[in-house]
């Protein structure tokens, strides 16, 4: 007759009370697991977005991240093909890599001078093949087909802009941007492009090559020597970017086009070498290896490495927020379970006072009485956790197959609402352990009280 | 041979500010292997005295020796172990463990004293036979009649072959017919197994069976009668 089988029988003795307690624990556990699974899905979704867009790690010129943004001239990485080759051929790093691709970020002014409008923009020159390879990343098995860059297969002067840029540059109609009623056309002084810009543009590209399209824009930037330079781009698509600030600023173009704009005839540089790994868990190892490489074969280059969480601070902010909410819910539910179980056990102690006195008279030690009730609490906790896990799995399954969608922060298109409970054994384990701990702990005080009862008084109890 | 020796034992209860004396300067020796009955009216202190002898209560003053052990010197755990090994209890309300069946209730003290499985089986079966409940082994207390429950309780009290069996008005909750049968069973078992039984009762039928009778009134011993000659050890 071990303590657990006795505990089980005693729990079964008062079925209704045990069931109510179990129900409270079940709901608590499944609430934690469901919210945990929901926020886990958001975190992984965000992570997937960031890793697809900007990789796990980026090698940048020292200080570029803090001081060099918008100054590709001063913070460009020269000789980047050699660095990329070194990374791709490194026996330690190569097996972890999915993509290594260069990128050139630049600040400038985009103008639709036919319409007399312009605005500052943030340009990204990307390698299309590398970009498309990055978009394939799906380590967390999100549903849906991988997107490809809209620049795929386009001419070298093609560009994609944010819908906000398209609105300001009055390109809504030709680019078929939605939610963009023809804005009141305002009279401005600069109705035509300044002569010097037109001249620069003409100098850059022979008249014959110039696109006569209605979607042409001029991108003006400072070149490596500090002089203004202009590229004429043909916008092939306006793409919504989710975050308004970015949507109002983004211009994506071919890497070579961007390099020609900044470096002209000089040796082309980039502002970042983007590394995407097979698994996010490999980041520390990959980083360590990069540090070795920067101190070894790549010694002397003023380079530093940043991870996606540093490059996208909102990742940490959003995951932190969800962790805080989850923690709050867990504490709340923990407290409820604590009171429920301790109430149940206190009632059991009072009901079984005579029994406690009898067992003590028969020679059971105080510790034996304590064990009896603590075991009951632990058993309640274990069964409650188990039922809660099953309930959470069922609800998660139902939700995941219900076809519900939602719009995560920073996303443009709704995504299926997914709750990740199945496949998260660490989360399930932590929750179950936590609940059992709380249940055991809350049985401890009533158990102590039971063990301290005076035998004669307990036997006289009616 | 004596199994219990009390010297100058006093005990009082505190009710609010008033001290209620329950036992006053009891000096008593209970002989080993005999059927001793504590007799007295309700409230005379029988239960209090049994509780002291059974080592589940402590006197305010005096000395108490049970089975050769100065039990007042024992710490709580040691005292619990001592009870498990040397003292059996039979209660007025039977006090069986409701979630254990008859067999398991009898087995329980043997688990406390660490008797091995085979020996446990042998003893429980033997006791079930002795109290005539071999066919009720699997029944829970709730499925047994009062008399049957008290038989299980008797078997439980005897399981560890204790030196001393305490029985506080064991027939008070039974009808007279059943009570008589239970008394007879206890008397027979006591004779067979030569343990010391200490009874409390105000029932003349119980008194009639006693080897020794101790009369109590208002917490004092008013008389001791030896009804049967003490057998030479
Ligand atoms: N726990 C207690 N608190 C206060 N008084 C008690 C308590 N137990 C017994 N008494 C008192 O002690 C006296 C002896 O009681 P008890 O030993 O139960 O007598 P009996 O068993 O002979 O009826 C009685 O006056 C009773 O009221
Ligand atoms: Mg009494």
Residue B129 CA: distances (Å) to CA of A379, B135, B195: 36, 9, 19
* In a domain? residue A152: yes
Alpha carbon of B47 to ligand 1 centroid (Å): 7
Q: Any chain A CB within 8 A of the CB of B83?
A: yes
* In a domain? residue A306: no
Residue B224, H or E segment? strand B220-226
What b-and-e string marks burial along A41-80, b requiring 16 or more CB atoms within 10 Å of the CB? bbbbbbbbbbbbbbbbbbbbbeebbeebebbbbebbbeeb
Q: Which two tokens stand for residue A110?
A: 């985009």
Angle between helices A15-54 and A366-400 (to 10 degrees): 50
**Rg, Å, chain A Cα set:** 32
Q: Which two tokens stand for residue A310?
A: 């540093």
Alpha carbon of B11 to ligand 1 centroid (Å): 10
Token pair 């918008």 is found at A70
Q: What is the mean pLDDT of each run of 10 residues along chain A (462 residues)?
A: 85 92 94 94 90 94 84 85 93 95 93 87 93 94 85 92 90 82 56 63 54 79 86 91 86 93 89 95 95 88 92 91 94 94 94 96 96 93 95 95 83 84 93 94 95 95 84
Domain end, chosen from A275, A301, A327, is at: A301
Chain B residue at shortest CA distance from A358: B95
Same-domain status, A112 and A197: yes
* In a domain? residue A454: yes
pLDDT at A172: 85
Cβ pair A367:B77 closer than 8 A: yes
Tens-place pLDDT, residues B10-28: 999 988 888 889 999 999 9
Same-domain status, A330 and A360: yes
CA distance B95 to B85: 19
* In a domain? residue A309: no
Of all residues in chain B, the percent with pLDDT exceeding 70 is 98
* In a domain? residue A160: yes
- Which of B1, B43, B4 is closest to B26 using CA atoms? B4
CA distance A23 to A77: 61
Same-domain status, A276 and A134: yes
Give the Cβ contact number of residue A378 at 10 Å. Answer: 22
Ligand nearest to the CA of A456: 1
Same-domain status, A88 and A184: yes
- Residue A223 C-alpha from the chain's centroid: 35
Same-domain status, A283 and A410: no
Q: Which two tokens stand for residue B141?
A: 């207390």
* In a domain? residue A224: yes
The pocket of ion ligand 2, defined by CB under 5 A, consists of B 47
Same-domain status, A382 and A432: yes
Q: Which residue blocks in A169-282 are alpha helix, DSSP H?
A: 172-175, 195-204, 244-247, 255-263
Cβ pair A456:B113 closer than 8 A: no
Ligand nearest to the CA of B40: 1
Q: What phi and psi values does residue A353 have, to the nearest 5 degrees?
A: -60, -45
CA end-to-end span of chain A, whole Å? 27
Residue A457, H or E segment? helix A455-460
DSSP conformation class of A77? B
- For ligand 1, say whether the CB of B48 is within 6 Å of any of its atoms: yes
pLDDT at A12: 92
Same-domain status, A232 and A363: no
Q: How many helices (H) and strands (E) does chain A have?
A: 17, 11
Same-domain status, A71 and A147: yes
Count of residues for chain A? 462
Calculate how close chain B gets to A12, using CA atoms only, in Å.
9
Calculate how close chain A gets to B113, using CA atoms only, in Å.
9
Alpha carbon of B19 to ligand 1 centroid (Å): 12
* In a domain? residue A307: no
Q: ipTM of the assembly?
A: 0.95
Give the number of beta-carbon pairs within 8 Å between A and B: 65
- For ligand 1, say whether the CB of B45 is within 6 Å of any of its atoms: yes
Q: Any chain A CB within 8 A of the CB of B80?
A: yes
- Expressed as residue numbers, the domain containing A102 is 63-301
Q: Which two tokens stand for residue B47?
A: 């239960």
Q: Which residue blocks in chain B are alpha helix, DSSP H?
A: 46-53, 76-86, 102-112, 117-130, 146-158, 176-193, 204-209
Q: Find residues 46-65 of chain B whose CB sits inside 8 Å of chain A.
A: 51, 54, 56-57
Question: Starting from the edge strand earliest in sequence, which strands make up the sheet with B61-66, in order?
Answer: B18-31, B2-15, B61-66, B69-70
Cβ pair A364:B99 closer than 8 A: no
Same-domain status, A38 and A185: no
Q: Which two tokens stand for residue A409?
A: 């922060």
Residues of B in contact with A358 (CB under 8 A): 89, 91, 95, 97
CA distance A273 to A163: 27
Domain end, chosen from A301, A330, A351, is at: A301
Alpha carbon of B157 to ligand 1 centroid (Å): 24
Number of domains composing chain A: 2
- Give the contacts of A452 (CB within 8 A, at least 6 positions apart): A366
Give the Cβ contact number of residue A342 at 10 Å. Answer: 20
Give the Cβ contact number of residue A235 at 10 Å. Answer: 26
- Cβ atoms of A166 and A238 closer than 8 Å: yes
Token pair 């520390």 is found at A284
Going along chain B from its start, the domains and CATH numbers come out as: 2-96+163-226 (3.40.50.300)
Position B46 pLDDT exceeds 70: yes
CA end-to-end span of chain B, whole Å? 8
* In a domain? residue A257: yes
Q: Checking phi first, is residue A148 left (phi over 0); if not, alpha (psi -120 to 50) or beta? A: beta
Tens-place pLDDT, residues A233-266: 999 999 888 788 888 999 999 999 999 999 888 8
pLDDT at A200: 67
- Give the contacts of B51 (CB within 8 A, at least 6 positions apart): A456, B57
Same-domain status, A394 and A423: yes
A188 HSE (CA, 13 A, CB side) = 14
DSSP track, A36-98: HHHHHHHHHHHHHHHHHHH-SEEEEETTIIIIITT-HHHH-BTTHHHHHHHHHH-TTTGGGEE
Q: Any chain A CB within 8 A of the CB of B2?
A: no
Tens-place pLDDT, residues B144-156: 999 999 999 999 9
How deeply is B233 buried, as exposed, middle or buried, from its count of CB atoms within 10 A (0-12, 13-18, 19+)?
exposed
CA distance A400 to A395: 8
pLDDT at A208: 44
Token pair 């407290």 is found at A335
Same-domain status, A322 and A264: no
Give the residue, by CA position, lying nearest to ligand 1 atom 7.
B13
- Mean pLDDT (chain B) is 92
Same-domain status, A159 and A217: yes
Cβ pair A366:B80 closer than 8 A: yes
Domain end, chosen from A246, A278, A301, is at: A301
CA distance B132 to B126: 10
Tens-place pLDDT, residues B168-205: 999 888 998 999 999 999 999 998 888 899 999 888 88
Q: What phi and psi values does residue A320 have, to the nearest 5 degrees?
A: -65, -40
Ligand nearest to the CA of B38: 1
């Amino acid at each position: 007759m071990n303590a657990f089988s006795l505990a089980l029988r005693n729990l079964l003795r008062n079925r209704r009370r045990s069931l109510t307690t179990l129900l409270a624990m079940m709901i608590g556990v499944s609430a934690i697991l469901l919210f945990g699974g929901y926020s886990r899905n958001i975190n992984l979704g965000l992570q997937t977005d960031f890793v697809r867009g900007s990789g796990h790690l980026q090698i940048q010129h020292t200080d570029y991240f803090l001081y060099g943004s918008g100054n590709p001239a001063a913070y460009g990485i020269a000789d980047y093909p050699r660095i990329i080759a070194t990374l791709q051929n490194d026996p330690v790093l190569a097996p972890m890599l999915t993509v290594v691709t260069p990128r050139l970020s630049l600040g400038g002014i985009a103008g639709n001078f036919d319409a007399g409008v312009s605005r500052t923009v943030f340009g990204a020159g990307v390698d299309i093949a590398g970009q498309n390879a990055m978009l394939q990343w799906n380590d967390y098995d999100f549903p849906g087909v991988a997107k490809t860059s809209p620049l795929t297969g386009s001419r070298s002067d093609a560009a994609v802009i944010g819908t906000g840029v398209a609105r300001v540059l009055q390109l809504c109609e030709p680019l078929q941007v939605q939610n963009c009623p023809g804005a009141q056309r305002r009279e401005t002084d600069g109705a035509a492009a300044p002569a010097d810009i037109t001249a620069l543009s003409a100098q850059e590209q022979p008249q014959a090559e110039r696109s006569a399209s209605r979607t042409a824009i001029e991108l003006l930037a400072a070149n490596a020597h500090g002089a203004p330079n202009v590229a004429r781009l043909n916008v092939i698509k306006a793409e919504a970017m989710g975050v308004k600030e970015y949507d109002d600023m983004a211009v994506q173009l071919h890497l070579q086009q961007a390099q020609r704009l900044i470096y002209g005839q000089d040796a082309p540089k980039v502002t970042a070498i983007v590394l995407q790994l097979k698994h996010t868990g490999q980041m520390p190892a990959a980083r360590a290896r990069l540090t070795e490489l920067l101190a070894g074969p790549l010694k002397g280059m003023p380079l530093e490495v940043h991870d996606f969480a540093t490059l996208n601070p909102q990742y940490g902010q959003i995951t932190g927020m969800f962790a805080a909410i989850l923690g709050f819910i867990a504490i709340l539910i923990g407290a409820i379970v604590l009171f429920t179980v301790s109430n149940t056990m206190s009632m059991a102690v009072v009901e079984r006072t005579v029994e406690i006195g009898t067992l003590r008279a028969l020679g059971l030690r105080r510790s034996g009485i304590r064990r009896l009730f603590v075991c009951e609490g632990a058993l309640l906790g274990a069964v409650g956790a188990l039922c809660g896990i099953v309930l959470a799995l069922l609800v998660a399954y139902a939700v995941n197959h219900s076809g519900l969608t939602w719009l995560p922060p920073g996303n443009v298109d709704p995504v299926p609402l997914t709750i990740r409970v199945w496949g998260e054994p660490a989360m399930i384990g932590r929750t179950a352990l936590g609940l059992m701990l709380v249940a055991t702990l809350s049985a401890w005080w009533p158990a102590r009280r039971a063990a301290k009862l005076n035998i004669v008084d307990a036997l006289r109890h009616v | 041979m004596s199994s219990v020796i009390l010297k100058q034992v006093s005990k009082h209860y505190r009710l609010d500010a008033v001290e209620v004396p329950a036992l006053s300067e009891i000096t008593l020796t209970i002989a080993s292997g005999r059927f001793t009955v504590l007799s007295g009216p309700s409230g005379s202190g029988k239960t209090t005295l049994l509780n002291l002898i059974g080592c589940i209560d402590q006197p305010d003053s005096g000395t108490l020796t049970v089975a050769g052990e100065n039990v007042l010197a024992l710490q709580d755990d040691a005292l619990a172990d001592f009870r498990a090994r040397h003292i059996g209890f039979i209660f007025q309300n039977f006090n069986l463990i409701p979630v254990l069946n008859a067999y398991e209730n009898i087995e329980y003290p043997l688990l406390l004293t660490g008797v091995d499985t085979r020996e446990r089986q042998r003893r429980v079966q033997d006791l079930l036979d002795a109290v005539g409940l071999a066919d009720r082994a699997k029944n829970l207390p709730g499925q047994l009649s009062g008399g049957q429950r008290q038989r299980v309780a008797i078997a439980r009290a005897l399981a560890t072959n204790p030196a001393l069996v305490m029985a506080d008005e064991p027939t008070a909750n039974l009808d007279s017919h059943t009570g008589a049968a239970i008394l007879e069973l206890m008397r027979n078992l006591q004779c067979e197994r030569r343990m010391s039984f200490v009874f409390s009762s105000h029932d003349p039928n119980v008194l009639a069976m006693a080897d020794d009778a101790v009369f109590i009134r208002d917490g004092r011993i008013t008389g001791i009668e030896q009804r049967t000659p003490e057998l030479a050890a």
